[in-house]
Structure 1
C-alpha cells in the first residue's frame, strides 16, 4: 500500500462531499500538471489518500480517502464544455488521468498547514517545500505516521 496527498478546494470537492455518500466513489479529475498526473498513474486500489483543503479560509488536512479505481483516462479532457477540456488530447492518446476515491474518515479536527510545517521529519514532504504547487504527491510511510500521529 502507498500513501498520497491530494489538494482540493473544499467548495469544489471537500471531505464533507466524500462523507455525504461514503460508499460512493468520487472521480478525482482535472489534474493538469504532468508530474501530478504521473503520480495519479502510480496510485493503486486501496492506497490511502490525505484530503488537503487548499485555496480556502481553513487550509490543511481534513480527512482520508481510499483509492477505489486505479488511473483511467480523465473524461473531462474530452468535454469541450469542461474547464478541464484539452483539445490536444485524443481517446487514442489521452494526456490526463483520473482515479476514483471513496471516503475513509474525517479527522477529528483540521490539521493546519502551520502545524504540519512545525512537525519534525516532514522536511522532504513536497507540501512543505517552498514553491511546490503539486495537487497530487506521494507521502512516505514515515511521513504518514508523523502527520496522523494519534489520529491513526
Structure 2
C-alpha cells in the first residue's frame, strides 16, 4: 500500500463535499509531477485530504477507489484522474503549523514542495500525521 496527500481549497471542493458525494473524480491536475503521482496510485491506497489556502490542515482520509484513467477535463490523454472515496474523518485537523513543528515530518513534500497538489508520503510520515489527528 502507498500513502498520498492531496490538496484542495475547501471553498472549491472540501472534505465535506467528498463525504456528501460519496466519491469524486480527482481531475484537473495540470502539474507534471502531480500527474505522475496520480498515475502511481493504486486501488486501496490511503490519501490524506488537505484543505489548502484558508484552513491549511489535513482533515480526513480518502481511499483510491479507481486507478488512473484519462482526465475527462483534458483534451490530452496523458493527463489522468483517479476516483477517491471518503474513508475516515480526522478527530482533530492537523495543521500545517503542527506538521512544520514536528521534526519527524521535515521531509514531507507539503513543506518542501508547497505548490504540489498531489504528493507521496512515506508510511512513517502518514502514521505520524494520523496520530496527530486522532
TM-score bracket for the superposition, by shorter chain length? over 0.9
Q: Secondary structure at the match of 1:77?
A: coil
Cα RMSD after superposing both structures: 1.3
Q: Which has the higher strand share?
A: 2
Q: What residue in structure 2 maps to residue 7 of structure 1?
A: 7
Q: Secondary structure at the match of 2:105?
A: coil
Question: Is the CA contact (8 Å cut-off) linking 2:15 and 2:59 kept in structure 1?
Answer: yes
Q: What residue in structure 2 maps to residue 97 of structure 1?
A: 80
Q: Which has the higher helix share?
A: 2
Alignment partners' CA distance in 1, 2:24 and 2:19: 11
Structure 1's unaligned 5+ residue stretches are 79-88
TM-score by length of 2: 0.94
Q: What residue in structure 2 maps to residue 74 of structure 1?
A: 71
TM-score by length of 1: 0.83
Structure 2's unaligned 5+ residue stretches are none
Question: Is the CA contact (8 Å cut-off) linking 1:9 and 1:54 kept in structure 2?
Answer: yes
